[in-house]
Every structure is written in C-alpha cells, then in structure tokens.
Structure 1
Amino acid sequence: MPRAAPSSPDPAVDAAALLRRIGFIGLVVAVPLAALVSRRAIVILVPIAVVILCLATALDGAGRPVGAGLRRVLRTRAMAAGALLAGWTALSIVWSPFPGTASERLLNVAITVGLTLAGYLALPDRMRAANAYLLPVGVGAAALAAVALGLFSGAALRFGLEDDSTLERGAMLLALLVWPAVTWLRSRRRDVEGLGVAVAVALALVLAPSPIPLLALAAGAVAFALAAWRQQLGVRIAAGVAAGLVALGPLVPFLLRPIVAPLLGPLHPLSQALKTWTRVVTSEPLRLLTGHGFETALRGRIVGMLPPSAPTSLLFEIWYELGVVGALAAAFVLWSAVLQSGRDHPSLTPGAMATAMTAFASACLGMSVTVVWWLTSVAVAVLAFIAIERGQFRTSRPKASALPGIKG
C-alpha cells in the first residue's frame, strides 16, 4: 500500500513564525533594554515591533479577524466611556488657550491607541510558550542592566550612556512589565523564577533616580496580594479606588493638606502643591464644570497660568483640563476596564490588577498620562498581558499514564 506523501512545509507560515519571534523580541526584550540608555527608544522601537507582528499575521492569518476583534472591543462599556472622553477632549480644544499644541498632543494619543489596537489584532489567538517566555527573559535582563547602571551611574553619565530622565523612563517601563512577566511564570508554576524577576526589578527601582516607579510598583504589589487573597474583592477595591479618586479629585487637597502640612511642614513641595491645588479649586469653581481645555495644565506652567508648585498628578490635571464631564468619563473608563481585566482567565487576575494599579499610581504620583513615552509604555504592558493571556490555551501536559491505551 503506498504511503501518503508528507505535507510540504508552508514557507509563508515559517516566515510568519520567524517574523513573530523577531517582533516579540523587539517588544519585550529590546525595548526594556534600550529604554535604559535612550530616551526615544520606546517611541521608535515599539511601532517597528508592532508592524512586524502585523506582517506576520498578514502572512499566516493567525491573528483575530479584524471585524470580530474590533466588535469585541467596541462593544465594551469601557470603550463607550472612552469614546465620550475622547470626544469631550477634542471638544475642549475649542476653549483651550493652546489649540495648536493640544491638537498635536491629541493626535499623538490617538496614534498610540491605534498602535495598541493594531498589536491586539496582530497577536495570535494561541501564543506559543516559547515566545511568551521571552517576556520574563527581557524583563530580567533589563532589571540586571538597570541595577548595573544604578550602581555605576557616575561612570555611565561620564560616557553619556544615560541621564536621570532616561533611567526614570526605563524604570517605569520595568515597573509595568514585571507584572505580566511574573504572571506568566506563575501560570507555568515557576514561582521561584517569578520571585527572582520581581526581586531583580524591585532592586533596580530602589537604585533608580526617581521614587515614583518604586512607589507605583508598591501599589501594584498591594493590588496583586489583595486579588490573590480574595479575587473578586481585590478587583472591586482596585476598580473602586481608581475610579473614586478620579471622580472625587477636587476633594483630595482638602482631605490631604491637614495631614501632610503638619507632618512634612508647610514649605515641603507636597504641601505647596496641595495648597496650590486648593487655591485653584476655590478660586475658579465654575471651571470645574468645563475645565480649561486639553493640554492647559502642562503649558499653563510654562506661560505662568499656573504656579510652578501646581501638582502634576492625574487627579489634578484631568479636572483642571476637562472638568466634571472628562473626569467622570475617565472614572467610568477605569471602573469598567479594571473590572474587565483578567475576567477570562481568573489565574491572571492578580497580575492584571497589579499592572492596572501600577499604571494608575504612577499617573497619580506625577507621570503625565498624555506624554508619548508613558502611553507607549502602558501600550507595551497591555500587549504583553494580552500575549500571556493567549498563551493559556495549554497550561500543563497530561501524564503518559492518563493517555488512552497507556498503562502506568
């Protein structure tokens, strides 16, 4: 009886697999390492990596159909609130004192969101474990490099390898990416390796020039522990804290200032920021309805509309720029998005909560949410989490004795 001819390999599939590996290496290995030594690495390398992933999907069709993928995203409540937020932001440019720069910044935000959506559609429904393991490898390697730069920062500065702002950006990216990396390793029952990656990142952030990434990581760790202990409670607390702080932003300085001023002194920068925040709320209460317009907080400091001591927190800026409509829309986006995170795979929920709260805490502590590098860093973390979620289609191999016809 003649044998069946072996199926010939498909060159398109092989090429797509190679491109996908290269794209993912660029996204989760090259980007964290390059971000430590180059300020523009994130905004240059991430689009290149996403384009390569899109090319791979175009070759083998392993990604989700564009129509079905878009419908799944657009039907969510978070997307509906996000559309309202985007529309109100665009409308606020009409009364913004800086319409030109505001329009440019809004275009950059839209491009970053579109890039993230393209990456979401390009990632295959079944992510190979070999590709997903690149995430902890990249995060661990970048953490060790960050530790070395932190220990020998003087020599690095002399050779022009980095500066404080560059290291801060790299550290913030590590704080975001460590949670998807640890979550993937935990899903593969590699808890020791996950702990090692987390410790390496924490040490790198301790040596970082800014405390914001470390504080944001600590907030993520609390969310992770709470969701791991009681999942539903942890999710609701994370969503409630994020949405509640944004919705009640104008009350924050009145609640914190009586506590902070006696502890740190009235001349401490935080005390001064809260004092300025209080003055802005009380002097222009009607502006809480409409806001001053998109991009006003950052540019207002430059031209003197706001004093230099004005806070850079998301909780202040969103109310100052977009008023009650923008703030409540953003609060609903956070509430819906956090509740949705990790719902399909409960084992990933602690990591999803940690990633969300790390990003939110960094924005509250002073990272501007509209600068391109921060938005792109969050986009990388989102794509990394989607990748490990799509790598959960097989979590363990069956024992040989459990297979039909094989006895133990």
Structure 2
Amino acid sequence: MTQNAVERDISLGEALEIAKNVSTDFAQLQAILSEWSGPFGLLDGETSLERLELGAKPLIVWGNLSVEGSILDLSQAGTLLVVLGNLQAKEIYFQSRLASSGRIDVKGVIAAGSADSGKILASGGLECRALIARAPLQVVGDAKSDFSFGPIQGLKTSNMLAGELFVDHVLDRPDDPMTADCDFTKLRERMAAGLEIIQAEPSSRRLQILSDLDDTASKLTLDLEDAGLFEVPEEVFEAKGLERLVLDFNDITVLPQRIASLKSLKVLSLDGNPIRKLPEEIGQLNTLETLSLRFVNLKELPDAISGLVHLREIFLTMSALRDFPESLVSMPSLERLSFWHCGEDEEKLKGFVERLSAMKQLKVLTFAQGGFSKMPAELKSLGFLDELHLIEQRLPEARQEEVRAWLPNTRVRFSI
C-alpha cells in the first residue's frame, strides 16, 4: 500500500493520550480503545492509500485518512480502525469497531460482517450509499445512508428485500431472490475485487416483480412481496393453475371475491397488509393448505373459512383478532395453529384452551403475547400436541417446569 506516514507501534496508554488530545468525543473513544490491550499500529499524519487491509493489530490514524479503494478487515476475530480526523473511502468492510473523530464519507458500501455485535463511532457524522449489518450494529453519531439492510441501531433500515438491494452475486440464494439473504463472504470477495455490491437502481426489483405479471397463465408461484401494491392485480386471477400466492407487506385493504377462482391454490400469504375483512368466498379454496395472516388488521374470520377442509396450517400471530375464531374448531385437517393474543385475561385464555382441547388433530400450537404470571391447569388437556410454543410468556422457571410436567409427551418451549 502507498502511504504518506510511517507506521509504528504504541501502547494503550499512548493511544489514549493521543485520543484525549484530539477527540471531541473522548469518553466514547476511550471505551472503544480500552477493549484492546495493545499494541496499536499508528500512522502519524495525513494518509492517502490505494487500499487498506487490516490485520489483527488495531490501527490508529493520527490525521485524515483517504482510501481510493476499499478498507478490508481481514482478521479472524475482527479488529479496530480509529481515524483521528476525517475518513474517506470507496467501501469499508469491518467486523468489530470503526471510529472517527471527524466525518466518515463512503461512496459505496459500509458492511459490518461480524456474527457478533459491532459499533461505529462517527463523531462528525457518517454518510454512505448503503450500510449493511450481519448482526446488531450500533451507530453513534449523525448517520445518513440511502439504503440500510440488517439490524442497525441509530439508522432506520430500508424496507427492502436482499434480492432487491444486492446484485445476484452477493446473495446466498440468487435463484430465489424473494427468500435470499446477503452472503457476507461473497460480499467481501467482490469488494476486494472492486466489483459492484448493490444494484445501480435497487427499486428496479419492484418493477421486475410487476413486469412478471405479463405472463401469469402458466405460473405455479407468484411472489409479489413488498411490491407497492394497493390491490391484488387482476392478472393474478388469470393464473388458473396457481399454487402459491405471496402478497406480503403491501398496502392491500381488500381481498377480492375473485380469490375463489384460484382453484389450485395451496398457499396464500397476506402478511403485513391492512386487510380488515376476508370475503366469504375464501371458503371455496378447497385445495388451500397454508394461510398466513400475520400483521393484519382482521378483527374476525368469516364463518366460511371452516370450508377449508384441507387447510393444514394457519398463522394468526400479530393480528387484531378480538376472540378465538370458532370456525377453526371444526377444521378437520388443521395441524398447526399460531394465535395472537390473549392479553392478560386468564379467563379468556381458559376459554381458548377449552376450545383447543377439542381440536385433537392439532400437532403444533403457538400462543403469543400472554403476559401471564401463571398458566391455567386446563393446559393438561392439550397432551395430544407434539409441540407447544409459548411466546412472550414471562413465567418464572418453576412455573415453566410445572407446565412441562403437565404435558410430558409434548415439546414445550418458552421464548420472549
């Protein structure tokens, strides 16, 4: 690499003394530096590089740092880069800690690729084209990014699919962009080679989704997730052999009566839509096996839903249902039920359990958002279940063991 400053080693004490005299955010920087015992590499002065590869030894740049290409953290466990000045680069891949006492300006991507939590300290602010995190990432300082992907604290994450944001070569499943995620190994390899990471125009993914509707007649699957839809496109109903229809996270308020025309439909997913009512015609989907209604505004299910005689699983978590749908009790093939919620009304929960006890065909049951300090003994009647998942049930360990004792042949899981 080409540089204008000579690197030398310094101790933690020397690093803290330098940072104290330079940084306006010394307390934060002190905490980050103190995570390493040293030695630290120091580049003393303004530094310009073609590219920068970081090893296991933390590196401090005392002055501004400008990198024409990429900054890559190649260490196994992740290392630290501290710039006591402004930082400019084309792209940055880091795994642990990145800090600047000035601004961080990146033309392309900043990727936090560690499986553990990472942290960026940008005392003078941060701006980049895209910020990508594999695990929870904390950003301290004013941050601006056109696109953000992953669990990032301090920056709103873009509502985008991986297949919409990244080029295919960075996806773990490029053949299925609707379920693919970012492969950070491939991302780092492309970054090292100076190749593109994100699509030139990420919104083109939505345009491609809608253009696919031009030829629906022979389709078995239609994935229209997060496509900016306000209604179900008429073209959908031309796919008479359609088996799987995904309409998740759009702004659809009404499911048309024409849904009944999809006589071969096996999977229907409407997660994240502001749907308030389902048409009675949904009960005519005689081949339907999976119905997903998570994050919807439904307050009740139509009685006609009991006509779904082949329905094996229904997901109602995070819905607005006020009561347990009586129509579910008489569904002969239902094996998997996820339900939300019981509030903190123990009598209501007992009523739910009483209805569930009649559904002997159930194998997997999920209750979410309970808030109970104990569970009713009526749970003993659900011993026919293979699995019982109790989510948001903050029960003491002794209470959890009591429930497990009631259902010795059922796998009982508690999670928050």
Normalised TM-score (structure 2): 0.24
Larger Cα-atom Rg? 2
1 or 2 for the larger relative contact order (CA 8 Å, sep ≥6)?
1
Normalised TM-score (structure 1): 0.24
Larger fraction in helix: 1
